[in-house]
Amino acid sequence: MIKDEERSMNATVRRASMADYLAPGARSMKPSGIRRFFDLAAGRKDIITLGVGEPDFVTPWHVREACVYALEMGKTQYTSNAGMPELREEIGNYLYNQFDVAYDPAQEILVTVGGSEAIDLALRALITPGDEILVPEPCYISYSPITSLSGGVPVGIETFAEDHFKLKAESLKAAITPRSKVLIVCYPSNPTGGIMTYEDWLPIAKVIEENDLIVISDEIYAELTYGTKHVSLASMPGMKDRTILVSGFSKAFAMTGWRMGYACAHPELISAMLKIHQYTIMCAPIMGQVAALEALRNGKDEKDRMVEAYNQRRRLIVHGFREIGLECHEPQGAFYAFPSIKSTGLSSEQFSTRLLNEANVAAVPGDVFGMGGEGHLRCSYATSVNQLTEAIERIGRFVDKLKAE
Amino acid sequence: MSELKMKILELLKEDARRTAELIATMLDVTAAEVKQAIAEMEQDHVIVKYATVANWSKVDDEKVTALIEVQITPERGRGFEGIAERIYLYPEVKSVYLMSGAYDLLVEVEGKNLKEVASFVSNRLSPIDAVLSTKTFFILKKYKQDGIIFEEHEVDQRLPISP
Ligand SMILES: Cc1ncc(COP(=O)(O)O)c(C=O)c1O
C-alpha cells in the first residue's frame, strides 16, 4: 500500500488541474437541468413524483419471458452490426403498417442502443463544425448538448402554448441562415405533449425542401397519441429522403431499461451511421433485440391497453389543473402535461422547488427544456390514478396557499 | 353492452371506490351519464355487488379454503340445477361451478379451520343422495385471484426525475 504522501509524490500530473485534460466540449457542457432537479428530489420520502419520463408499467411479461427463454437457449452473442435481420424486417413491417412509411430493412434500417444512440449517430454523421442545427423548443433535453458535442451550433426556435407548441413555418423560416443544415423535430413532444397533423406538416415540409434541410425526426412517442393518429414526417410528400426517422421501444412498449431503438433513413445516411455505430458500439445487445422482436410481433394488445390507461390519466390531470386554476393546453400525445404557472407570479424554478419542499410533489421546471419553457411545469402522467389524484390535490392546496400570501 | 358501460365496469373492477365524477373525467363523458350507466348495470345485475378483495392470510384468524370436485347424478328434468342450488345455499360455500371433464361441480368452501371444512364435506355434502363422490383439495396459498396478484406491492422503482 502506498501512503498518501508517497502517492502524491509519485503523481505525474503536469497540467494545472484534471479539468485541463478534458476536451473543450466535455468541459463546457453544463449538467442537465433535469439532473439538477433530480438531486433535489432524490432521497426525499413520500414524494409523489410527476417528474418521471418513463412508463410506470413494467415491460409486458410475454416480452420479458421471450428474452428469458432466449437466454436459456444460449443467445448471448454479438449480432450483425445493423441488428438482427429479422428484427429489422419486423421494424420495417411495423412502420409500414402503422405509419405509412416504407423502409428497406437491408439498407435503410439500423438498430441502435435506444433512440438516444440513434440521435447521436445521426448528428455525428451529419455535422460539420459550425453547422447550425435548428431545434424547436421546448424540447427533449439532449438535442442541444449533443449537437454542441459534435461541433454543431444549436439554434432554438420558440414554440408557444397558444399554438399547442406546434412548429410554425414562419418561425422556422425566420431561424434559417445559410449555415442551417439540420432540423430536429420531436412530435408527439416531450415535454409539451404537442403533436403535428398532416396539415401542420405541409407548410413545414415546403420550407424544409426550399431550404434543403435534413431532418432528424424523433418519433419515439408515435404510438402514444389520443384521438388522432401520429403523422410521421417521413410519410409527407418529398420528405422520406430528407428525414432520419428515429424511434425505439422505450415508451410504447414500456422498455426503457432494455436500451432499444432504431434509425431509418436513406441508405447513404444509414451506412455512415452504421460505420460510427460499428466502431463505437458494435451492435445493440442481443437480449434487447430478442425482446424488441417479441414486442413488435405480439405486443399490440398490451400496448393498446397502456395507451388507453394513459389517455384516461391524461384527461384526469388536464381537468385537474384547470380546476385548480392553472392554464393547461391539451396535450394530444406522449405522457406529459405542460401547464402554465405564470398566473402565480413565480418562475418555473421557484414554483417547482417550493412545490417539492412545501407540498412534496416533484415536477420538472419547464425552463430546462429551452425557450418557451419558462413559466411551465412538465408533469408526467405515467403514474397511477391514485397518485395523480393525490398530486392534483396537493398542487391545488399549494396554489391556494400561494394566492393567500 | 355499450362500450361506455364496459369501460366503466373495468374502471370499477380496478377500484370500486372511484366516484362517478372521477370516472367521467377519465372517460370524457358527463358524471350524469356515468351515474345512469352504473344505475342501469346495477338494475340489470351486471354489477352484482361492490366488495373488498382481502388477503385473508394477513388477518389473524386465518380462514381455510378448499376446492371440492363433486360427481353427481343429474336429476330428471332439472339436470344439475336442483343439486347445485342445494349446495350453494350453504353459507360456507363461496362458489359453485358446473364443469366439463371428469367431475361435475367444483365447489369452493371456506371454514375457520380444517376440521370445519372436513365436517362440512362429510356431514353436508357427501350425504346428498345425488352426490356420487367428492375429492377435497385445500388451498395452501393464494398467489392471484380475480386477476389481482396478492403479493404485488406498488413499489415504484423509477428515479424520481428522468428525461
Ligand atoms: C423525445 C425523446 N427522445 C428520445 C428519448 C430516449 O429514448 P431511448 O430510451 O430510446 O434512448 C427520450 C427519453 O426520454 C425522449 O423523451
Residue A342 and residue B63: Cα distance in Å, rounded? 57
Check whether the bond before A138 is cis (ω within 30° of 0).
yes
B3-43 CATH: 1.10.10
pLDDT band at residue B155 using 50, 70 and 90 as cut-offs: confident
pLDDT score of B162: 86
Is the pLDDT score of A71 beyond 70?
yes
Give kind and range of the element (H or E) at residue A312.
Answer: helix A300-324
pLDDT 10s digits, A290-299: 999 999 999 9
Whether A138 is in the pocket of ligand 1, judged by its Cβ within 6 Å, is no
Decide: A246 and A122 in contact? Cβ < 8 Å: yes
Question: By C-alpha distance, which of A319, A253, A248, A334 is closest to A284?
Answer: A248
pLDDT score of A25: 83
Question: By C-alpha distance, which of A319, A347, A311, A49 is closest to A188?
Answer: A311
Question: Cα-flanking dihedrals φ and ψ of residue A340, to 5°?
Answer: -90, 135
pLDDT score of B154: 67
| Secondary structure of residue A190 in the 3-state scheme | coil
pLDDT band at residue B58 using 50, 70 and 90 as cut-offs: confident
Residue A220 and residue A247: Cα distance in Å, rounded? 4
Between B134 and B160, name the one with better pLDDT: B134
Is the pLDDT score of A45 beyond 90?
no
Residue A242 and residue A238: Cα distance in Å, rounded? 8
How large is the average pLDDT for residues B34-60?
A: 92
Cell digits of residue B138 = 385445500
Question: By C-alpha distance, which of A67, A44, A34, A25 is closest to A299?
Answer: A67
B58-141 CATH: 3.30.70.920
Rounded to two decimals, the ipTM of the complex is 0.83
- Where do we find the cell 429522403? A241
Residue A203 and residue A279: Cα distance in Å, rounded? 39
Residue A303 and residue A320: Cα distance in Å, rounded? 25
Q: Calculate the dihedral angle through the C-alpha atoms of A134, A139, A141, A145, rounding to the nearest 10 degrees.
A: 10
CA B120 to chain centre: 20
Is the pLDDT score of A12 beyond 70?
no
Spell out which residues of chain B touch residue A51, defining contact as CB-CB under 8 Å.
Answer: 160-162
- Where do we find the cell 437491408? A106
- Are the beta carbons of A41 and B11 separated by less than 8 Å? no
- Are the beta carbons of B160 and A34 separated by less than 8 Å? no
- Where do we find the cell 443544415? A181
Residue A313 and residue A386: Cα distance in Å, rounded? 10
Residue A346 and residue B62: Cα distance in Å, rounded? 55
Whether A139 is in the pocket of ligand 1, judged by its Cβ within 6 Å, is no
pLDDT score of B62: 76
Decide: A92 and A105 in contact? Cβ < 8 Å: yes
pLDDT 10s digits, A167-218: 999 999 999 999 999 999 999 999 999 999 999 999 999 999 999 999 999 9
Other CB atoms within 10 A of residue A258 CB: 26
Question: By C-alpha distance, which of B66, B156, B60, B77 is closest to B107?
Answer: B66
| Secondary structure of residue A225 in the 3-state scheme | strand
pLDDT 10s digits, A230-275: 999 999 999 999 999 999 999 999 999 999 999 999 999 999 999 9
The beta-carbon neighbor of B158 closest among A54, A190, A316 is A54
pLDDT 10s digits, B60-98: 677 899 999 999 999 988 999 999 999 999 999 999 999
Q: How many whole angstroms from A346 Cα to the centroid of ligand 1?
A: 29
pLDDT band at residue A15 using 50, 70 and 90 as cut-offs: confident
Question: Cα-flanking dihedrals φ and ψ of residue A182, to 5°?
Answer: -125, 145
pLDDT band at residue A6 using 50, 70 and 90 as cut-offs: low
Within 8 A by CB and 6+ apart from B72, the residues are: B80, B83, B104, B105, B128, B130, B131, B132
- Are the beta carbons of B161 and A56 separated by less than 8 Å? no
B:22-61 residues touching chain A, CB 8 A cutoff: 22, 25-28
Is the pLDDT score of B160 beyond 90?
no
Strand duo B131-138 + B64-72: pairing: antiparallel
Angle between helices A348-359 and A33-41 (to 10 degrees): 20
Chain B CB within 8 Å of residue A316 CB: yes
In chain B, CATH 3.30.70.920 sits at 58-141
Is the pLDDT score of A131 beyond 60?
yes
Q: How many whole angstroms from A338 Cα to the centroid of ligand 1?
A: 18
Between B56 and A307, name the one with better pLDDT: A307
Between B63 and A51, name the one with better pLDDT: A51
Whether A140 is in the pocket of ligand 1, judged by its Cβ within 6 Å, is yes
- Strand partners for A379: A337
Question: By C-alpha distance, which of A245, A239, A274 is closest to A107?
Answer: A274
Chain A CB within 8 Å of residue B10 CB: no
- Are the beta carbons of B163 and A315 separated by less than 8 Å? no
Chain B CB within 8 Å of residue A51 CB: yes
Nearest Cα residue to atom 7 of ligand 1:
A115
Among A75-89, A342-356, B57-71, B105-119, the least confident range: B57-71
Cell digits of residue A128 = 460539420
How large is the average pLDDT for residues B121-148?
A: 92
CA A45 to chain centre: 27
| pTM, two decimal places | 0.91
Cell digits of residue A289 = 433485440
Between A19 and A362, name the one with better pLDDT: A362
Decide: B160 and A44 in contact? Cβ < 8 Å: yes
In chain B, CATH 1.10.10 sits at 3-43
Chain B CB within 8 Å of residue A357 CB: no
pLDDT band at residue A132 using 50, 70 and 90 as cut-offs: very high
Say how many Å lie between the first and final Cα of chain B, rounded. 42
Q: How many whole angstroms from A79 Cα to the centroid of ligand 1?
A: 23
pLDDT score of A89: 98
Whether B162 is in the pocket of ligand 1, judged by its Cβ within 6 Å, is no
Interface residue of A49, A58, A139, A392 to substitute, partner B, most B CBs within 10 Å: A49
- Where do we find the cell 444549436? A154
Q: How many whole angstroms from A53 Cα to the centroid of ligand 1?
A: 8
Is the pLDDT score of A7 beyond 60?
no
Nearest Cα residue to atom 13 of ligand 1:
B163
Whether A114 is in the pocket of ligand 1, judged by its Cβ within 6 Å, is yes
Whether A348 is in the pocket of ligand 1, judged by its Cβ within 6 Å, is no
Q: Is A391 exposed, middle or buried (0-12, 13-18, 19+ CB in 10 A)?
A: buried
pLDDT score of B157: 84
DSSP H helices in A252-299: 267-280, 286-298
How large is the average pLDDT for residues A88-113?
A: 98
